[in-house]
Amino acid sequence: MRVAVIGADRPWGALLAAELGVEFEVVAIGAEETSDLAGYRQVDLLQREALDPVLAGVEAIVHAAGGGPAGDGEGAVLDTAARSTYVALTAACAVGIEKAVLLSDLDLMRDYPEEYIVDPQQWNALPRAEAGSLAPLMAELVGREIARTGRCLRFGELGAETTADDAVEAVRQALTAERRGHDWLLAHVASSGRFA
């Protein structure tokens, strides 16, 4: 399966692009100019015209660009999260890609009391009224509305709450899961801590 990892210039995207290459033919895409990844391609992730041609022949996408890069203003953080997801998923639909995995953030659930058993399918996201907290929710809402046959995986901090091995395995399973029609699935990928 040919899989595009969008946001391969971000920590989770870079990890997944490298590790998924063992099983899949990975197309690593990011907004930054350079990357150590083989075959990495720089693309403006906010423009359909730039992304569409890169997705030719791709069968699934992993969207890891939902969070804004550090240092951006609040508007840019929100815009990057929402619009990059919108661009990625509409582009995927346009070329007939039927499977998408969207990476999100366990921080959306962090403000529930520690003693609650928080299930991703049954508990609403609880972001704060701050752009950085709202950004992953914007990406999730766009993803849910457009994909509805995709997977959304909420990760914790790389290497701490969510280990690299567990993250790669979760994405691998999401990419190979059987499609079941309208099928938006939220999952928490935590190796330790309250969401494990």
Using CB under 8 A as the criterion, which residues of the chain lie in contact with other proteins when the complex forms? 46, 48, 74-75, 78-79, 82-83, 86, 89-90, 93, 127-129, 131, 134, 137-138, 141-142, 145-146
Residue 112, by phi and psi: left (phi above 0), alpha (psi -120 to 50) or beta? beta
CB of 108 to other proteins, least distance (A): 11
Sign (positive/negative) of CA torsion 194, 176, 40, 97?
Answer: negative
CB of 194 to other proteins, least distance (A): 21
The two structure tokens encoding residue 115: 């003693």
Considering the complex, state which of residue 38 and residue 116 has its C-beta at the smaller distance from other proteins: 116
Considering the complex, state which of residue 48 and residue 179 has its C-beta at the smaller distance from other proteins: 48
Angle, helix 11-20 to helix 164-176, in steps of 10 degrees: 60
Considering the complex, state which of residue 28 and residue 100 has its C-beta at the smaller distance from other proteins: 100
CB of 127 to other proteins, least distance (A): 6
Sign (positive/negative) of CA torsion 69, 75, 76, 78?
Answer: positive
Q: Which residues contact 107 (CB under 8 A, 6 or more apart)?
A: 133, 136
CB of 84 to other proteins, least distance (A): 10
The CA distance from 138 to 81, in Å, is: 6
CB of 142 to other proteins, least distance (A): 6
Provide the 8-state DSSP code for 55.
Answer: G
Considering the complex, state which of residue 19 and residue 105 has its C-beta at the smaller distance from other proteins: 105
CB of 37 to other proteins, least distance (A): 28
The CA distance from 24 to 97, in Å, is: 15
Considering the complex, state which of residue 35 and residue 84 has its C-beta at the smaller distance from other proteins: 84
Residue 25, strand partner residues = 2
Considering the complex, state which of residue 70 and residue 129 has its C-beta at the smaller distance from other proteins: 129
If you search the block for the tokens 């929100």, which residue do you land on?
78
